Structures are given as structure tokens and as C-alpha cells.
Amino acid sequence: MLKRIKYNSPVILTFTLFSLFALILGELTDRASTYLLFSVYRSSLTDFFFYIRLFGHVLGHADMQHFVNNFIIILLIGPMLEEKYGGKSLMAMISITAVITGLLNIILFDTALLGASGIVFMMILLSSFVNIERGKVPLTFIVIVCIFIGREVIDGIFSSDNISQLTHIVGGICGAYFGFIKKWNR
């Protein structure tokens, strides 16, 4: 039975397993590991863990619901993107998006940031480029920008919750950038 199961999307599945591990570790350490390794916040540049957190914050999640909300989308879209762009390229896009969202959070806010929602929005926007023709802007991209990014801008202005709309917007911008770069450089 197990021989029939294929690890079909190594980057996405490994990302999911690492995030699940980070969530379980956070539960076992009463969130100490989540704060130390899987949340990004202002700290000294001489702190070794600062650099781990720049990447690691996308692995951390507040609870199982937060994890499921992010990874249901990542597991739906991610394998298609990994097949289209390749594992190394997708890993680079995830890493770049993590660093950009982490740095912006540190520069602009005094709060800790954790979760893969910036990666989710990067993947959502990137997915609209999967089957486009060179030199053309897909209508799905325009609709996604209007719906997803527009909603985040409105929520950012009118909501006061614990959700980082800026991370969603920046993740979407990263996905759009990667999509345009990949298509126009072919």
C-alpha cells in the first residue's frame, strides 16, 4: 500500500511537514520555540536566531486552525506550481517572500509575525500565470488582484485584528513579480 503513495511535491510536502513540526514543538514548549524560532520581530542583528526567524516565521502558526487555513491552500496550489516552475525555483520564491515579509514587519511594526499567509498569497497570484501566453496579462491575474489584494487593502484600513494584511499584500506582490519575471524571461 505504501509503495503506491508518491511524495509527489517534495518542496510543498516538506514545507508542510516542517510547519506541522513547528506547530507541535510550539505546543510542547508552551510557545517558547514558536517565539524563539518561528516568529519574526525586532531584535539585535548580532542575535544568531534573528536570521533563522527571517526564514522560519513562515513555518510558525498560532494554532491548528491557523495552520490548516494556510496549508489547505498551499497543498492545493503548491504542487501545480512546483511542477510548473521546479522545486528549486519555488523554494527560492518561498524564501525570498519570507525574507521580504519578515524585514518589512521588522521595519514597520513592533509586533511579532508568524504564519505562511504571505506564501499563500504569493502562490495565489503566481498561479494565475501558469498557463498564460508570453506578452499577455491573464484576466485571472487581474480578477485575483482585485478580489484578494483589494480585500486586504480594505481590511487593512478598516479592521483591527491580529492579521497582517501587509504580509498578504506583499506576498501577492511577490507572486505577481515572480509570475511576470518567469513568463517574460522565457
Q: Please report the pLDDT score of residue 156 as a whole number.
A: 62
What's the Cα-to-Cα distance from 14 to each of 11, 21, 52, 135, rounded to whole Å?
A: 5, 10, 17, 34
Cα separation, 130 vs 113, whole angstroms: 29
CATH of residue 133's domain is 1.20.1540.10
Strand ranges (E), 90-161: none
Range from 7-21, 23-37, 160-174 carrying the lowest mean pLDDT? 160-174
Q: Please report the pLDDT score of residue 166 as a whole number.
A: 84
Domain hosting 142: range is: 9-184
Using a pLDDT cut of 70, give the percent of the chain over it: 90
Q: Please report the pLDDT score of residue 147 as a whole number.
A: 82
Q: Please report the pLDDT score of residue 93 as a whole number.
A: 98
Cα separation, 138 vs 87, whole angstroms: 24
Instruction: Kindly report the average pLDDT of the chain as a whole number.
Output: 89
Please indicate, yes or no, if residue 143 is contained in any of the structural domains.
Answer: yes
Residues 6+ apart with CB under 8 A from 49: 36, 37, 43
Distance, CA of 92 to chain centre: 12
CA atoms within 13 A on the CB side of 108: 12
Q: Is 135 left (phi over 0), alpha (psi -120 to 50) or beta?
A: left
| Of the candidates 139, 131, 108, 147, the residue with the CA atom closest to the CA atom of residue 179 | 131
Question: Into how many domains does the chain fold?
Answer: 1
Please indicate, yes or no, if residue 1 is contained in any of the structural domains.
Answer: no
Please indicate, yes or no, if residue 2 is contained in any of the structural domains.
Answer: no
What is the maximal distance between C-alpha atoms in the chain?
Answer: 51
Please indicate, yes or no, if residue 4 is contained in any of the structural domains.
Answer: no
Please indicate, yes or no, if residue 3 is contained in any of the structural domains.
Answer: no
Please indicate, yes or no, if residue 29 is contained in any of the structural domains.
Answer: yes
